[in-house]
Structure 1
Amino acid sequence: MTLSLRFINAEVLHPGGLSAAPLSIADGVIAPDGGRAVDLSGYTILPGIVDAHGDGFERHLAPRRGAMKDIGEGLIAAEAELAANGVTTAVLAQFYSWEGGMRGPDFAQRVMEGLGRICGEVVTDLRAQLRFELSMVDDYDTVAAFIAAHEIGYVVFNDHLPHEALAAGKRPPRLTGQALRIGRNPEKHLAAMQALHAGMHRVPAALAHLTADLARAGVRMGSHDDRTEAGRAEWQRLGATIAEFPETIEAAEAARAGGDSIVMGAPNVVRGGSHNGNASAPDMAAMGLIDALASDYHYPSLRRAAFLLADAGIHDLAGAWHLVSKGPAQVLGLADRGDLAPGQRADLVVIDSRTRRVAATLAGGRISHAAGDVAERFFG
């Protein structure tokens, strides 16, 4: 059931900054007027967070080694964590990879089936992204059918093969541990990697065909971990106009020059830089090279990153929050959310103005999370 409410005495974040004017919701959207008044003095209302790429849900599907039998229950638990962190729209980034285990095709099938079963039971808008390993040329037709069958609207291309080691005839680092973790014989795992590496000459033609088909179907496409201007230009030529986590400023500047969208990880901001020496997200934000921040592997980082950028003076609060709300909504082509303008979806997060902790989250005018004093004000 959607709510009809008028929030009063809160600070409300709009693109122009904070306002003390009341905010109303009705019929699942931001309304010119609302019903019952709810006093939110001491709190700030901000647009709901849109997470364009996150794989933090995986820990709910496999809390210990080995996946849960009921994937749907794990996804429901993940949705609760998302809501508790102010996320109202979440893109779940699922691998389809030669790496096997939770990244393998069979597990991807289970996740998509589970997501299909529980989507109507949760409040948060859960969406799927498929992270496809481009070296899997023999799977291209199968993955195209998989994307269509599950109506996946966002595909990102990865290449996690250790090409340098394989080209030198070396045993890639951590191979044995990786193989044993997914229950595969290490020698067979190595042989599979070598075969994929040897077939890379087949990738360009197959990839051009696949991306053309996906573009005709209206699927959004992106690349992952771009390093060079030439590499980003090639992805743009193929229609993959979203650059996820570019590893260098060169690649990010190429994306910006080409009009592509740039997504960076919020944990990179919270840490003050990349954990593995890649481009610094705070530096990129200061250079205007980020369109959206994504949770990557840590949902709480989205809210924290926005406040950190505002506190550092890199953006004002409206500009910083844009990177976790309207910015990612635009990257995903979701014009109905990301700000608190009349007629937009009633997606909002209520933050304690003093502690900056999430007190309540509403998605489409429905409560997905409420705790403490705010819960009493909502229901009291």
Structure 2
Amino acid sequence: MTALLPPLRLTGATLLRDGEMQKRSLVIEGGVISKGPLPEVDLSGNLILPGIIDLHGDAFERHIAPRPSALFPILAGLRWTDREAAAHGVTTAWLAQCWSWEGGMRGPEFAEEVMAALTAYRPQAHTDLRLQIRCETHMPDTRARMLAAILAHGVDYVVFNDHLPEALEVADRDPHRLALWAERAGETPQTFVARLREARARSRDVPRHLCALAESFDAHDIRYGSHDDPDGDTREYYRLIGARIAEFPTTVSAAKLARAFNDPVLMGAPNVVRGRSQAGNVSAQHLIADGLCDALVSDYHYPCLAEAAWTLVDKGMKTLPEAWAMISTTPAEIMGLVDRGSLEHGKRADFVVVNAESRAIEATVCGGRLTYLAGEAGARLVSAMQRRRMAAE
């Protein structure tokens, strides 16, 4: 982990603070946002925005296995993910790891390996990396095992998803897609179908299983929600269990049900940037225009987080403060992170420096530590630190 930046006053930039863009300085000291006269760094021509908080990203899978048959060590994949996230302004990130009947990289064994690797890597991480468990619902026989792993490794976010109906339909109608799904799990189509049937046989135990998990999550202050709700009935079902966060509802009806109960709705930033879902689901822009989306997540592509905010600004759908809040302030509120998400005094020094003209991220600071540096703003920060070091000598 890099050393803390020295006490500095960043001047000349335009800050996002109190919900508006303000021409004022930002003081950092001891890893937090502070006050007082300190050595200055002129960042004129730049914006200073709160660090991005990503509640769901599975891009780390591609760093571990860029091809199904080309696996790299998990620790190496986490290190590469960490650097990619920092380069795109992310200061807090939940890596979405499956706990699924699918097996392979989405099975319990691999999930436990990822948890252990992240626990080992976290002390040297640049980004505040955390883990989200995507819990397939038809896994009641692994409940005790999953809870033990979650508690042992400090996992604080779980989402329920049920991809079994989709998988069963694929098995019946699409042999090619079934073969690809099986290959990803390291199975033959025949053994993969056997897994599906075993999971389906556990259907009657699922409701009690989910209620037991919810009770444990409540007892340990673990946030939980649901993933890929296909309709309002499904969203209501999970909400009754206590799963308040609606992650990637696939239809307007599911998002409307979440809004009716004031439950937060998360959508993918790539969906916003591309203008549509890669899976053919509801458009995130559509939901945002209708007031049915609260926060954006990287999903599978970190660069899209900041790009999605700018897309909303350019389309006139949001002001910059409103759009940036969807990837910073609101995610912090959803997860109860009171120490970050805005540039208020006393909060963690988590922020990004953005070139106002090119919109390129030129510096990322996480907990008062430089995690990414580039461009003119980067050069000014380096120069200021060199001058300070020379003066101290």
TM interval, short-chain normalised: over 0.9
Q: Would you say the 8 A contact 2:96–2:133 is kept in 1?
A: yes
2:316 maps to 313
Shift of 1:247: 0.9
In the TM superposition, what is the alpha-carbon distance from 1:347 to its structure 2 partner?
Answer: 0.5
Q: Following the alignment from structure 1 to structure 2, what is the Cα–Cα distance between the partners of residues 363 and 271?
A: 29
Once the two structures are superposed, the pairs formed by residues 94-105 of structure 1 within 5 Å of their partners are 94-105=97-108
Q: Secondary structure of 1:345's partner?
A: coil
Distance in 2, matches of 1:277 and 1:175, equals 19
Residues 166, 194 of structure 1: 8 Å contact kept:
no
| Residues 1:177 and 2:186 aligned together | no
SS, match of residue 342 in structure 1:
coil
Corresponding residue SS for 2:164 = coil
Q: TM-score scaled to structure 2, two decimals?
A: 0.92
Quick check: 1:6–1:35 contact (8 Å CA) kept in 2? yes
Q: Describe the shift of the 1:5–1:66 C-alpha distance in structure 2 as closer, same or farther (beyond 3 A).
A: farther
Q: Does residue 223 of the first structure (1) align with residue 226 of the second (2)?
A: yes
Deviation string, structure 1 residues 304-348 (Cα, Å, up to 9, x no partner) = 000111121111110010000001111111111111111111100
Q: Secondary structure at the match of 1:162?
A: helix
Structure 2 residue 126 is the aligned partner of structure 1 residue 159: no
Match of 2:4 in 1: 2
Pick from 370, 375, 381: which aligns with 1:367? 370
Matches within 5 A, 1:229-240: 229-240=232-243
Q: Secondary structure at the match of 2:292?
A: coil
Alpha-carbon separation, structure 1, partners of 2:113 and 2:373? 30
In structure 2, distance between residues paired with 1:290 and 1:208:
27
CA pair 125-354 structure 1, distance change in 2 beyond 3 A:
same
Establish whether residue 117 from structure 1 lines up as the match of residue 115 from structure 2: no
- Which amino acid is 1:215 matched to? D
Residue range with higher mean Cα deviation, 164-173 or 240-249: 164-173
1:55-101 deviation digits (Å, cap 9, x = unpaired):
11111112333464531122111111000000000011111111122
The residue number in structure 2 matching 1:79 is 82
SS of 2:352's equivalent in the other structure is strand
Query: What secondary structure, in the 3-state scheme, does the structure 1 residue paired with 2:246 have?
Result: strand
Q: Which amino acid aligns with 1:151?
A: G
- 2: CA distance, partners of 1:63 / 1:268: 22
Q: What is the percent sequence identity of the aligned residues?
A: 47
Matched ranges for 1:226-305 at <5 A: 226-305=229-308
Could you say what secondary structure the match of 1:321 adopts? helix
How far apart, in 2, do the equivalents of 1:121 and 1:56 lie? Answer: 20
2:58 paired with 1:46:
no
Whether the 8 Å contact between 2:171 and 2:178 is mirrored in structure 1 is no
Equivalent in the alignment of 2:35: 32
Report the more deviating stretch, 316-325 or 188-197: 188-197
Letter of the structure 2 residue corresponding to residue 196 of structure 1: A
Residues 211 and 67 of structure 1, relative CA distance in 2, 3 Å threshold: farther
Q: Secondary structure at the match of 1:329?
A: helix
Residues 188-227 of structure 1 mapped to structure 2, 5 A cutoff: 188-227=191-230
1:324 and 2:306 aligned: no
Aligned to 2:14: 11
In the TM superposition, residue 228 of structure 1 has moved relative to its aligned partner by 2.0
CA distance 1:68–1:188, shift in 2 (3 Å): closer
Offset of residue 34 of structure 1: 5.3
Question: Is residue 129 from structure 1 mapped to residue 132 from structure 2 by the alignment?
Answer: yes
Larger displacement relative to structure 2 (200-209 or 122-131): 200-209
The gaps in structure 2 that reach 5 residues or longer are: 384-393
C-alpha separation in 2, matches of 1:34 and 1:139? 56
Distance 2:184 2:282 in 1: 30
When normalised by structure 1's length, the TM-score is 0.95
Q: Does 1:150 align with 2:153?
A: yes
CA distance in 2, matches of 1:2, 1:56: 28
Tell me, yes or no, if the aligned pair for 1:7 and 1:40 is still in contact at 8 Å.
Answer: yes
Contact 1:95–1:103 at 8 Å: present in 2 too? yes
Q: CA deviation at 1:169?
A: 6.1
Deviates most, 163-172 or 184-193: 163-172
Report the CA distance between 1:171 and its aligned residue: 6.9
**2:32–2:368 Cα contact (<8 Å) kept:** yes
- Residue 204 of structure 1 aligns to a residue whose secondary structure is helix
Q: Which moved more, 1:246-255 or 1:141-150?
A: 141-150
SS in 1 for 2:345: coil
Count of residues in correspondence between the two structures: 380
- The 1:54–1:34 alpha-carbon spacing in structure 2 relative to 1, beyond 3 Å, is farther
